[in-house]
Amino acid sequence: MVKTLGWLAGAGLLVGLIMAFGVAPREVTQGNVQRIMYVHVPLILASYVAFGVLAIASVVYLARRHPAADRVAHASGEVGVLFVGLGIATGSIWGKPTWGTWWTWDARLTSVAILFVMYLGYLLLRGTIDDPERAARYCAVLGIVAALDIPLVHFSVYWWRTLHQPPSLMKPGGFTGSTSILWPLLINLLAFVLLYAYFVARRVRLLRSEAEVTA
C-alpha cells in the first residue's frame, strides 16, 4: 500500500509538471514565471491538509491517549512544515519578478510565516521534552491551537489589503479561470496530497519501530 502511494504520487507529479510547464498556456501579464503557481498553490493547500490531519489526530489523542494518533500527528507535522516551507520558497521566487521583492510583510505572507514558525515550534517542543506522553499531550494542544491560523492565512487576502492575489482554488464562488489552468492545478494538488500520504505512512511506520525499540 505504501509503495503504491509512492508510485501514484510520482506519476501524478510527473503528469502535473508536464501539464504545468508544457501544456498550460503562458500567462499574458506575468509570462512564464506564473507557471510556478502550479507548484506553489498545491504545496500550500497540501500543507493545509497536513495541519488539518495533525489537529484531528491531536484531538483523538487527547480524547483516547492512543499512541497511533500521536504518531500520525507527529508525522503530519513534519511533512506539513516541509510543504509550507517549500511553499514560502516558491512564493518568494514567484514574488521577486512580479512584486519586485522576495518578501514583504503583508497580511498573507505574515500569517503564513506565523503558521510556519508555530509548527516549527511544534516539532521543537517534541524534541525538548523527554517524557513521550507529556510531549504528546503538549504538542497535541499546540497542534490544535496552531491550526486556527489556517483560516487566517487563507482568507487574509480578503480581510486585509495585500499584494498577494486571491486564492486560485477554494475561494467564494468557486474557480473562475479556464480549464487549461484548472486541470494542472488539480492534478498537482492530488499529486502533492498523495505525496503527503506517502511520507506520513513511511514516517508513521518508522516512529512505530522506534517506539517498539525503546519500549
Question: How far, in Å, CA of 52 to CA of 168, rounded?
Answer: 20
Condensed to tens digits (0 to 9), the pLDDT of residues 77-90 reads 999 999 999 999 99
pTM here is: 0.92
Is 101 a member of any domain?
Answer: yes
pLDDT band (50, 70, 90) for residue 182: confident
Is 31 a member of any domain?
Answer: no
Question: How far, in Å, CA of 169 to CA of 77, rounded?
Answer: 23
Domain count, the chain: 1
Is 29 a member of any domain?
Answer: no
Domain that holds residue 137: 2-24+36-170+177-214
Is 207 a member of any domain?
Answer: yes
pLDDT of 177: 66
Question: How is residue 187 written as a grid cell?
Answer: 492534478
Is 10 a member of any domain?
Answer: yes
Is 95 a member of any domain?
Answer: yes
SS3 28: coil
SS3 56: helix
Condensed to tens digits (0 to 9), the pLDDT of residues 31-72 reads 888 899 999 999 999 999 999 999 999 999 999 999 999 999
The 3-class secondary structure across 138-160, one letter per residue, is: HHHHHHHHHHCHHHHHHHHHHHC
Is 149 a member of any domain?
Answer: yes
SS3 126: helix
Contacts for 198 with CB less than 8 Å, ≥ 6 apart: 2, 5, 6, 9
Condensed to tens digits (0 to 9), the pLDDT of residues 109-155 reads 999 999 999 999 999 999 898 898 999 999 999 999 999 999 999 88
Question: How far, in Å, CA of 105 to CA of 95, rounded?
Answer: 12
pLDDT band (50, 70, 90) for residue 203: very high
